[in-house]
């Protein structure tokens, strides 16, 4: 358990699935997603890029408040059924993503940040936020969103 801002929660309990209607962008058996690695902290009050303001507000609504949000990296992942894609995290961990299925307009994705594995659902809109652990006095999150435009277009 972690005590942060007067609230106690399991560090991986913040994997928040926002599954909205619509299919994740898919072509054949592949689903294209963006994986943004973000550092949230209370060191300063910079939100860079400004698009992270949405994540900041989302977490504030859950009573998890960080004053600074910084994008560390961004990767486009082409997820294929039962194949694992990895994203390195700045704290030495890695986030692993495996497409389990696409059904009823929703992609089911297994996400592992050792020692925790979650199964989440992603639609055409919205983001998934996965806790990647502590780093430099803050918290690393992997923000997963559908990549709605084909690669190279």
Which residues form the domain of 64?
14-146
Give the range among 2-16, 69-83, 94-108, 135-149 with minimum mean pLDDT: 2-16
Domain-embedded: residue 2: no
Banded pLDDT at 35 (limits 50, 70, 90):
very high
Number of domains the chain contains: 1
Residue 99 lies in a domain: yes
Residue 6 domain flag: no
Is 4 within a domain?
Answer: no
Q: Which residue has the higher pLDDT, 11 or 31?
A: 31
Mean pLDDT of the chain: 82
Which of the pair, 95 or 17, is modelled with greater confidence? 95
Average pLDDT over residues 50-71: 95
With respect to residue 126, please indicate whether it lies within any of the assigned structural domains: yes
Closest C-alpha among 21, 39, 19 to residue 119 = 19
Q: According to the model, what pLDDT value does residue 64 have?
A: 94
């Amino acid at each position: 358990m972690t005590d942060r801002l007067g609230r106690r929660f399991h560090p991986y309990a913040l994997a928040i699935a926002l599954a909205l209607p619509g299919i994740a962008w898919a072509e054949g058996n592949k689903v294209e997603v963006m994986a943004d690695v973000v550092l949230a902290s209370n060191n300063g009050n910079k939100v860079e890029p400004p698009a992270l303001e949405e994540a900041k507000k989302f977490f504030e609504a859950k009573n998890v408040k960080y004053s600074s949000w910084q994008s560390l990296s961004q990767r486009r992942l082409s997820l294929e059924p039962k194949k694992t894609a990895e994203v390195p995290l700045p704290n030495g961990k890695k986030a692993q993503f495996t497409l389990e299925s696409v059904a009823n307009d929703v992609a089911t994705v297994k996400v592992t940040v050792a020692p925790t594995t979650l199964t989440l659902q992603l639609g055409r809109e919205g983001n998934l936020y996965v806790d990647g652990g502590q780093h430099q006095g803050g918290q690393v999150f992997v923000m997963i969103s559908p990549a709605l435009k084909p690669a190279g277009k």
